[in-house]
Amino acid sequence: MIRKAEKNQYWFEADIKWMQGSKGELIGKSGSENIRFATPPEFPGGIDGVWSPEQLFLGSLNSCMMTTCMAIAAKKNLVIANFECNAIGLVQLVEGHLEFTSIELFPKVFVSKEEDFSLANDVLLKTYKHCIIANSIKTWLVHHGEVLLAIGDKAHVAI
């Protein structure tokens, strides 16, 4: 973040550096790691095995969902056992240009106690409302949220 300008107003910044061909690097700020990216392999000259701008877009939405959910859960004193979210975006040709036309989100909030289900559902609904990235894009967003019971390290049961 560059600076806080006024109450509820924040400036953020992202820089890139061109490497060669369709490869570049997102420059980390405040000690964060750089992220290499390139044209995705679906397009001419694309490179497999490197983050694409399209994946970073979905990742931005996904990571905002998680951080927003964790912040709201903390305010509500809800203990989250685990959080997962898959985002699937559809890119289509619209009026002569490619754009994301829909994104489906599959967040899963895991809690350790059944009595936390209602609060976890409330937190998930508030997450949809307050996620900055989700509120900033025009693409159709479909949410498929689930609250699940965490059992042990890996077993999860939907109730």
List beta partners, residue 87: 105
Q: Domain count for the chain, please give it.
A: 2
Residue 7: the pLDDT is 83
CA atoms within 13 A on the CB side of 75: 11
Q: Are 80 and 66 in contact (CB under 8 A)?
A: no
Q: Which two tokens stand for residue 13?
A: 């910044």
pLDDT in tens, 86-121: 999 999 999 999 999 999 999 999 999 999 999 999
Residue 76: the pLDDT is 97
Q: Which two tokens stand for residue 14?
A: 């992202």
Residue 141: the pLDDT is 85
Residue 2: the pLDDT is 58
**Higher per-residue pLDDT: 67 or 9:** 67
Q: Are residues 72 and 125 in the same domain?
A: yes
Angle among Cα 52, 61, 25 to the nearest 5 degrees reads 35
Residue 159: the pLDDT is 46
Task: Specify the CATH number for the domain of residue 139.
Answer: 3.30.300.20
Q: Are 50 and 23 in contact (CB under 8 A)?
A: yes
pTM score: 0.87
Question: Residue 11 belongs to what domain range?
Answer: 1-51
pLDDT in tens, 23-82: 999 998 877 899 999 999 999 999 999 999 999 999 999 999 999 999 999 999 999 999
DSSP states of 5-35 as a string?
Answer: EETTEEE---EEEEEETTEEEEEPSTTPPPE
Among candidate residues 13, 36, 51, the one where a domain is terminated: 51
